[in-house]
Amino acid sequence: MTDLVETARARFTELYGRAPQGIWSAPGRVNLIGEHTDYNDGFVFLFAIDRRTVAALALRDDRTVRLTSSFTDEIVETTLADLGPGGAHGWQNYPLGVAWALSQSGLGQLGADLDAVPGFDLYLDSDVPVGAGLSSSAAIESAVAVALNDVWRLDLDRNALVKAGHIAENEVVGAPTGILDQSASLLGRLDCGIFIDCRSLERDVIPLGFDEAGLEVLVMDTKVEHEHAAGGYAARRASCEAGARELGVESLREVSISDLPRAREVLDGETFRRVRHVVTENQRVLDTVRTLREQGPRAIGDLMDASHRSLRDDFEVSVPQLDLAVEISQNYGAIGARMTGGGFGGSAIALVPRELISHVEAAVDGAFAEHGYAQPDLFAVVPSDGARRDE
Ligand code: GLA
């Protein structure tokens, strides 16, 4: 982390010919449990990881905005007046979108007046792997949000910054996403998870106790990118909506485990299994939070395992590589394991005693080679602090 901050300061100075005014950073996230529940008004329990995006930034005395990152040689130049939807940029839409979003109503608080604030130079660097489902985009948004909140002296609270990231993603980047990722990135706390009720948007920071229990979370990125991911995701959402409609409820959040026998009579087999996943997964999120409180982290493994089975068999969003990663990690000492994220590829996670991490890694690597699968990317993460100023 210090390395990223040092490098960002040096690169910023080299590129823009002056030192940055400050350096801020924000983490990616991992979803511990609660999959395909968010768009059903359900529960999610996720945490910020120790992989971060850093933003080195300095205000200018004009309205120009310049930005670049460690991933490109190009410096993009625009002005505050040109920010907003329709911005013809690529990844730059994330940081530029946030700068614009901070001026929008809908933050719940007064934001920036883009006619009155100065432009800025920005440099971004990150060790959040891109494409592994760890929300590198929320890390960028949140780092830029806290940086601009400081230098523009906006005094917005974290909830408003979550909304700014959400506005940027939905209106500038054009991705119809929720508030989960920004919530984890902005509200994360060392060794804590963030419980989110997606209906009320209430959030709760809950101690995980992984550190004391000697546990780490192994991320197993299968590198599989399924061609049907987008279509499959949309189809699952449609099934959930159809299920809710047929059961006469607004969302599957209103369906409880005791309603399942009736649901089985009313719904066709496939829709029933989709519904059963969502209903049982919501319960597993609540059970995970309760179990952590009552028995500690070593007791949540079965819930993670059950979540994976439900995603595999009822929701049918797993792939053989995810199943293998889960199964091998379980066999070699993980306390619990499951796919994480939307599925059809991407990453699985395993809760592993610290001393067994390399043992599990070797086993998973070996099993993937044996099956002729591409080598997975394996790395341990620990639940970490959310966005902050580093310098
Ligand atoms: C994707 C979406 C999330 C969520 C997960 C499944 O990652 O971006 O909003 O729906 O799938 O839990």
> Is the CB–ligand 1 distance for residue 38 below 6 Å?
yes
Identify the segments of the chain with pLDDT beneath 70: 88, 227-228
349 CB burial (10 A radius; 0-12, 13-18, 19+): buried
Task: Quote the pTM value.
Answer: 0.94
Ligand 1, closest atom to CA 36? 12
Q: What is the pLDDT of residues 123-168, one digit of tens each?
A: 999 999 888 889 999 999 999 999 999 999 999 999 999 999 999 9
Instruction: Give tens-digit pLDDT for 262-279.
Output: 999 999 999 999 999 999
pLDDT of the residue at 177 = 81
- Known catalytic residues are 181
Q: Is the CB of 315 under 6 A from ligand 1?
A: no
- Looking at ligand 1, which atom is closest to the CA of residue 133? 7
Q: Give the tens place of pLDDT for each residue, 96-107.
A: 999 999 999 999
The closest of 48, 93, 133, 16 to 385, measured between CA atoms, is 48
Give alpha helix (H) positions in the chain: 2-16, 93-101, 136-151, 158-167, 180-187, 229-247, 260-266, 269-295, 301-309, 320-331, 357-370
Domains of the chain: 2-206 (3.30.230.10)
Mutate to test the pocket of ligand 1, among 180, 181, 239, 315 (most ligand atoms within 8 A of CB): 180
260 CA to middle of ligand 1, Å?
24
For ligand 1, atom 2, which residue shows the shortest CA distance? 342
Task: Give the distance (Å) from ligand 1 centre to CA of residue 16.
Answer: 38
Tokens 């508030």: give the residue.
179
Q: Which residue has the tokens 């639940």?
A: 383
Query: Which pLDDT score is estimated for 212?
Result: 97
Q: How far is the CA of 269 from the centre of ligand 1 (A)?
A: 24
**Looking up tokens 């489902």, which residue turns up?**
133
User: What pLDDT score does 133 carry?
Assistant: 84
